[in-house]
Amino acid sequence: MPETDDDLFTMTWEEAEHAFEDADAALLGTGSIEQHSVHLPVSVDTLRAEHLTEELVDAADDAGLQFVRLPTLPYGMSEHHMNFPGTITLDPATYEDAIVDIGESLARHGVERFVIVNCHGGNREPLSQAADRLVRTHDLATHFVHWTDFAREHLKGVFGEGWGHAGDHETSVIEHYRPDLVKQEKKEPQNAKAMPETVSYGYFDRVTDLGGLGDPTNSDAEAMAAAVDHGTEQILEALTRDIDAGW
């Protein structure tokens, strides 16, 4: 597991002051607490955010970047999973406001650049709105990175097309970082319905009884490790391009 000395979580306020001065950006991982079928914990997206931001911080030096990593935000917008016990959701407006408050706090400490690394699809819209507000209202350069977007083609090459929620990809991530949390005996194809093309499905239990998509029995932790390296490299390259371009 990667280790970093750049975590705000472990700093005193004096250390934080110096870290913010030296860093190119503050980096926040965003996840969720929501059901991930019967073989994975409700913390999947938060675990992904925790570990994948560690990867970014540890690889940043090679890209000529330095980050201060904020504590991972565990809760997200998960209303569509609420019919499955264990899911905890924030209202979209509450979530958006919380992100803006975090960014405003950073700006008040002199931070000029904020990177949000998201690992839950349901967070995308409120995070995008929050990023816009931070740029317009607080003049805080805000980068919104949905992690999977930067590894999508690589993941398709490994897992094909059907690697969605709690399927091949997410099972592989948790087997890579926290294999002790995967219930191997409960892994099975999810037998989900096709997503509707013109209406919202509303709640996820209309799509799948078990709570997942794809086939977690096709998981591959070793291949996922290579995908993590690829995604990390792609994100750092994109951030470098945008920063160098003055965004």
Domain layout of the chain by residue ranges: 8-232
Q: Looking at the predicted structure, is the pLDDT value of residue 160 above 90?
A: no
Phi-psi region of 246 (alpha: psi -120 to 50; beta: other; left: phi over 0): left
* φ, ψ at 110 (rounded to 5°): 90, 5
Query: What tokens appear for 79 in the block?
Result: 């209303």
User: Which of 3.40.630.30, 1.20.1730.10, 3.40.470.10, 3.40.50.10310 is the CATH number of 8-232?
Assistant: 3.40.50.10310
Nearest-angstrom CA–CA distance, 147 and 72: 14
Give the residue from 117, 118, 114, 101 showing the smallest Cα distance to 141.
114
Q: Looking at the predicted structure, is the pLDDT value of residue 133 above 60?
A: yes
Nearest-angstrom CA–CA distance, 215 and 103: 38
pLDDT at position 5 is 77
Q: Which of 121-125, 130-134, 158-162, 238-242 is least confident?
A: 158-162
| pTM for the whole structure | 0.95
Put the strands of the sheet holding 141-146 in their side by side order.
67-69, 25-30, 113-118, 141-146
The model's pLDDT over 80-100, given as tens digits with 9 standing for 90+, comes to 999 999 999 999 999 999 999
